[in-house]
Every structure is written in structure tokens, then in C-alpha cells.
Structure 1
Amino acid sequence: MRIRRKSNGCMNCGHTLDSIYNYCPSCGQENNDNNISFGTLIKDFFTNYFAFDSKFARSVLPFFFKPGFLTNKYNEGKRVSYVHPVRLYFIVSLFFFFIFSLASKKVIEEQISNAKEIKNAIQLNSITGLDEETRKKISDALDSNTIDDINDDLENGNIEELVDLLDEKSKEKLLKVLDSTEVKQLNLNLKELTLNSLDTLNNQVDKWVNDPTIASLTKEKKTENNWNRIERLKENDDLSDAMIYDSLDLEDTSNFERYFWNQYIRTRRSDERLLTNYFLKNLPLMMLLLLPIFAFVLKVLYLRRKVLYIKHLIHALHLHSLAYIIYGTSILLMMYLFKDDDSTGWVSFITFVLVSTYSYVSFLKVYGQGWFKTLVKFNLLGFMYINLLGLSVVIEVFISGHDLE
């Protein structure tokens, strides 16, 4: 029961109140004195909104070890004795999305760090006459595609050949990071540099757009070609999003497809940290919006059972809550205990089996159909939900990319 600290008078209008009043009969304000210490406020918050009492204690064991029990009890009308499914969902989702957020950010940071290490590791070791510091400056200043091209084209492995393989824009970048001694060592002549790099890139874009060989490609091949082109150009700082978009083959495409490609370019070129933060911010809402859809699919699959939609929704809340706890725990284990690939693979497999088994048994208990019919419907639901989840993630990533604009 919610804790109220009642007063003898309404703090809003001053009306005299009796202890039986939860709300002021004059203005309607709640009769609750919040002039209390911070510690008491925190204690009341957990008591009021998380209700860690006998109700919670009675719910724990059935929730974990009796699939479908809480759903059946709630649908039978026995609701006071157990934690409300909505409250349970929000408590567990706080745990899961916090852990998922930590893990996702950790993975992104590791990927960025590894990519940086790989780039820094390209020290152009085959070039003679360059000291270690200069090599590192070159590899840090140039993008990875440029360095890869240089390493692929090097034959003699001398400084003169390196300079010949640098385009004008790359030389400009090096001039910003190298000191005068290093510039002299590389023999970079300022007079040889021009400012027509952007014109060159625009000409290349026009060449891509007007390439007659592209017109003969099938739609699937054009799509694949567009994917590859974006991946190849996304790290080129000299190209704007619009220039990359204009280089794609979008002839005979719908407005939605054009919007898709435009958003995809923005998403792929967005800062991974920012994109991850926006994605994680929107993810809880996305999963919450999927719950009623999940319940609707249950309603369709069990249409002949004449079960009210709200009962399917209660079942969906319990299933997602259990999945959040198990998956959240497994993520913790993989983050701190089982870090190698073999161990994480086994943890992921065991987690999937546990969630699937629990959900299947819950279906048997809640809907009361035979094991074969239940298995068919369970797999059909799983197939539909995984595809719906994948589509939702794609949409959510695009929305997150749009938020970065």
C-alpha cells in the first residue's frame, strides 16, 4: 500500500482536513506531506513503486520456476497477492537495459580502439629511411583506405615512391602534422600542391553517375553496387553525404528507397559513440511498443481459444520480464567472467535454450493445448517476432541516425 504522510490542513488551499482524507475535498490536492528527509524520500519511493514486500517474495519463486503460474493467477483474478505484471516489467527492464547499455558501449569502445590500433599499427614498415615517429604521424594523418592503397602499390619501398603515391589532398594533410624537418625529408614541395582536389572528386562523382555500364546492371546488382560504394566512400572526409548520395545509382527507385539510401549514408557516417547512445536511448521505448504487437500475434494464433487480448498482454509482460532477467544476467557473465569466444558462445546458447524452454512450457500452462500444436504455434510466433524485432531495430537505427542531424 502506498505510504502517505497526512497533514491536518491542505498545503494548497488551507482547507482543514480529517485523517481519513487522502485528497482535499476542496481543491483535490493529495493529502501527503513531502517535507521529509532525502533518505526517507528514497525509502518511500522504493516502497511505493517497487513494493519489495511479501507480495514480491511470493512472486519470485513462481516467476522463475513455474512458467505461466503468475499469468494464470492474474487472469483468475488473484492479483493482490503477487507483483503486478506491469510493475514487474519495468523493474526488470531497468536492470536489463542498464546492463545492455554498458555492454553495448563497451563493445563499441573496443571496436573503435581496435580499429585505431590496427590503423596505428600500419607503420609503413617497408619504407626505408623513415623514423618510427614520422611513420606514426603518416599513418595517423591518412585514412585507412589510403594507407592500404599505398601498401598495396609499394614496390621499391623508398620515400620517393611513397610521395609519388600520395594524392594532393593527402599531401595537404601531412603538411598539417609534420614538422619542417619531416617535410624536407619527404620532399613535399608546397608549390606542387593545388587546391583542385574537390573539383577532382566532383568529376569522379559525375563519372560514376554517367557510367554507361551501370545502366545494364540488374536491380539486385545495382543495390549491391550501392552498398559497396557507400562502404568504400564513407570514411572519405572530402566527400559530403550529398556527394556520396549523388554517386549512387538510384534510377527507377521510389521515394521511400531514396529516403532509405539517404538515411543509410547518414547512419554509416555517424559517430559510432553518438549513434549508439541515441540507439540505446530509444531502445526501451521500441521494446515497449513491441509488446502490444507481440500480444496481438498471440491473439491471432489462439483466436479459437476466445481469450481476451489483455490476457495475452499479461502473458507477454511476464515472458519479456523473464527473458530480460536471463539475458541481462548472461550479458554480465560474458562481460566479466566468460570473455573468450568459446565461452561466450556457450553462454549465449544456454541462455537461448533456457528462455525458449521457459516460454514453451509457459505456453503449455497458459493456453492448455497439446505439445505439438503448442510447438508449431511457438515456432511460428518466434519466427514472426524475430523478423519483427529485426525490422524494428533497423527502423530504430535509422531514427537514431536522423536524430543526429
Structure 2
Amino acid sequence: MPRSLKECKNCLQQFESHYSYCPYCGQKADDQLTLSVLFNNTLSNYFSVDARFFKSFIPLMFKPGYLAKQFVEGRRLLYLHPAQMYLFISIVFFFLFSFISREQAETIDNDLRKNIERSHAYQDSLKQKKQDSIAHQEFSKTVKSHLADLDLNQEEMQTLDSVITKDRKYSSSLFDMDFGQAEVDSMITAGNSDQEIYNFMGMKPDAGFFTKRAYHQALKFFKNKSGGSILQAFYDSVPLAMFILLPIFALILKVFYYRKGRFAHHLVFSFYFFAFLFMVFSMLVIVDLIWPNFPGGIIFLIMLSTFFYLFLGMKRFYGQGYILTFIKSNVVSFLFLSFVIPFAAVIMGLMAFLFY
């Protein structure tokens, strides 16, 4: 009796038709593309939310360095892959943080609109005072021209002249700039071209890239009246900054433990450590959303515990003594907080400047 064969659509290998899965590549034999299959594949391929995550959660939070050590030693299917763990938890964090960032952006926009309205009202009052001053000067000229017709003695004329010529100047040095916000708003309302507004603002024709970009962002700010979008652009650049920070952190570990494995080993430790940090941050965001007045002292202690977590994790993963590990963990933390994070902040600021 001849065998009934089926061809795999993925690897084009033939196998017996009674097999539910291809024995060569593992794809399902009769894999119909439905919404359910597409959705499940997305979760499986990109998030890998399965039993391994829940099995990895407790060691991640309460056994510093354990998951990294297990992965490096070859036990790589029992727990969630470090990169997948980091990716999933970071996505959860940024999703939760979006609620806070959106509220902060709205608060900034509302405060900005109020300040702009007060600024316009103040400038209008200055213009009115300037008009009153002009009218007063015209009046004083008229009065002075008729002083001779009045039957006044010398002392009375001096007194009247001092009252008329009394200083009525109003300082507007606060607005002695190349351009004013009210003028730019008027040009925007009138429909002037961007180039005309740039010229009014003082941008030179031979301005460099960053100068042109600065004027472009300033005009965009005047048009949108949205300071919150700048903050949101800063927050949106955080994932990219973290993508830069993580390998730099692993490189610092490599410098201090250059005989303790390859760079990939230190990167595994960094993935799990940053996943722990994002999990802590996610919990703090949840607490802030539920309890906005959560005691700051407790938050400080929670943040401080991350340094002890790093110390214990390095002790378990690298296997050195407590004193030496304590010194190295503090130096690593100092370098990371003093140099690496400020560098990342500059990157985020630059990203917000260029792309907000």
C-alpha cells in the first residue's frame, strides 16, 4: 500500500499525511491563517507570554542573579529568555507610564495656555499705557503752549510744569527681544509664510542646521502652544536611551569582571537586572495611579533596595567575596548614575529637540 505524502508549505519537505506537524521544521501541517492564528502567533513570537514567565518571575524579583547564572550555565529552556523578559516587562512599564505622562503633558499645556493668556494681557496693558503716555505728551504740549496766556506767577508756573512733565514712562525691558510672542502670534493668525516669520524672528539666511532646527521648533511651539508635546517627545525617547544604556552597563561589568566570561554573559546579567528595574518601576507607577499620596519615604527605600539587589546579584552571578563585590557594585552604580545616565539624558533631550 503506497504511503500518502504531504508537502510542508514552509520547508517544502515531504512527510506522511497523518502527521499533524512537519517533522523537519515543526510547522503545523494544515495551518490555516485566521485572525486567531495571527493573534496567537504575534503573542508567541514577540512576547512569549507562557508558563516560563510566571516560573521566572519569583526568581527575578527575589533571587538576584539566579536567572542569569542559570542561563549562562546552559539551562535556557526552563526560564524565560533574558531579552524576552526585558522586552515584555519594559512594554508593560511604558504602557502603564503612558497614563502618567499623558496627565503631565495635559497639565503643562493647561499651565502654558494660562501663562500665555496672562502674557498677552500684560502686553496689551503695556500698549495701552504707551498710548496713554503719547496722549499725555500731546496734552502737555498743548497746555505748555498756552501757559503764557495764563495769569500765573513764577512759582505757580513751575509747579504746574512739574505736574505736567511728571515721568510717566513704563519699563518694558522684559520684552526687549528680537521678537515678541504676540507679534509672532499675529503673523501666524494673518497667514504669513514660515520663512517670513523666520525672518521676523531673526534667523539669518546662512544659519546652520541646528540653528534652523531651533527656529523651526520655536515656531512649531508658537503654533501648537503645547509644551506637553515636548515632554512627551522626551518620554518617547526613553526606550531608545535604555537600548543604549543596557549594553553600556554590560560593558562596565565586563571591565570589572574581564576574566568572568564573554561580553554576552554580562549582557545576560544586564537584561535580567534591567527587567527587574522595570518591574519595580511598573509597581511604583501602579501604586501612584491607585494611591497618589503614597509616602515618599517608602518609595525612597524601594529605590534604595535596587542597589542591594545589584550587589546580591553580582555576588551570586560572579561568585566573588562580599567585600570586593560590595565595592565593585558601588563603583558600577556610581559610574552608571554619574556618567552613563546623564549621557542618556542628553541623548533623550537631543531626540526631543530634533523630533518633537
Structure 1 position 331, deviation (Å): 1.6
1:277-336: CA deviation from partner (whole Å, max 9, x where unpaired): 444443323212321111011101222x33211111000000000000111110221133
The equivalent residue for 1:272 is: 227
Which residue, 69, 72, 80 being the options, matches 2:69?
72
8 Å CA contact 1:85, 1:318 repeated in 2: yes
Is 1:56 aligned to 2:7, yes or no? no
Gap change, CA 1:12 and 1:49, over 3 Å in 2: closer
What residue ranges of structure 1 are gaps of 5+ in the alignment? 1-6, 120-141, 154-158, 167-202, 206-231, 248-254
In the TM superposition, 1:150-299 aligns within 5 A as 161=129, 164=132, 205=178, 237=184, 270=221, 271-299=226-254
Query: Could you say which residue in structure 1 is the equivalent of 2:302?
Result: 351
Distance verdict in 2 for CA 1:36–1:259, change over 3 Å: closer
User: For residues 234 and 368 of structure 1, what CA distance do their matches in structure 2 show?
Assistant: 62
Alpha-carbon distance in 2 for matches of 1:245, 1:368: 62
TM-score (norm 2): 0.66
Tell me the CA shift for residue 40 of structure 1.
4.6
1:309 aligns with one of 233, 253, 263: 263
Q: What is the CA–CA distance in structure 2 between the aligned matches of 1:295 and 1:352, rounded to whole Å?
A: 21
Aligned partner of 1:98 in structure 2 is 95
Q: For the structure 1 residues 393 and 52, does the alpha-carbon distance in structure 2 shift closer, same or farther, using more than 3 Å as the test?
A: same
Give the distance between the partners of 1:58 and 1:388, measured in 2 at CA.
32
CA distance in 1 between partners of 2:247 and 2:271 (Å) = 9
Structure 2 match to 1:209: none
CA separation of 1:71 and 1:300: change in aligned 2, threshold 3 A: same
Equivalent residue letter for 1:237: V
Instruction: Kindly provide the CA deviation profile for residues 331-387 of structure 1, in whole angstroms up to 9, marking residues without a partner as x.
Output: 2211331x24xx363353133123222122111211223333323322222232223
Contact 2:22–2:29 (8 Å) recurs in 1: no
Percent identical residues: 23
Match of 2:6 among 5, 8, 22: 8
From 273, 277, 280, the counterpart of 1:319? 273
CA distance in 2, matches of 1:378, 1:165: 69
Partner amino acid, structure 2, of 1:382: S
Alpha-carbon contact 1:55-1:81 (below 8 Å) kept: yes
Deviation at 1:235, TM superposition (A): 8.4
Which deviates more from structure 2 when the two are superposed, residues 43-52 or residues 287-296?
43-52
Structure 2 stretches of 5 or more lacking a match? 135-175, 188-196
Alpha-carbon distance change, 41 to 353 in structure 1, aligned in 2, over 3 angstroms:
same
- The alpha-carbon distance between structure 1 residues 33 and 163, as it changes in their structure 2 partners (threshold 3 A), is farther
Higher RCO, 1 vs 2 (CA within 8 Å, ≥6 residues apart): 2
After superposing the two structures, state which structure 1 stretch, 275-284 or 99-108, moved more.
275-284
* Match in the other structure for 1:176: none
In structure 2, relative to structure 1, the CA distance for the partners of 1:279 and 1:13 (3 Å cut) is same
1:369 is the counterpart of 2:324: no
Q: Assess if the C-alpha contact under 8 Å between 2:105 and 2:232 holds in 1.
A: no
Structure 2 residue matching 1:357: 3-state secondary structure: helix
* Partner of residue 35 from structure 1, selected from 32, 35, 49: 32
Does residue 395 of structure 1 match 2:347?
A: yes
SS at match of 1:8: strand
**Partner Cα distance (1:307, 1:235) in 2:** 62
Contact 1:22 1:31 in 2 (8 A): no
Once the two structures are superposed, what CA deviation does each residue of 1:237-288 show, in whole Å capped at 9, x if it has no partner?
Answer: 36956766769xxxxxxx9xx8666656655664434434444443323212
Amino acid across the alignment from 2:184: D
- Evaluate the alpha carbon distance shift between residue 30 and residue 276 of structure 1 in structure 2; reply closer, same or farther with a 3 A threshold: farther
**Aligned residue for 2:22?**
21
The structure that has the greater radius of gyration is: 2
In structure 1, C-alpha distance between the alignment counterparts of 2:326 and 2:181, rounded to whole Å: 45
Query: In structure 2, what is the equivalent of residue 123 of structure 1?
Result: none
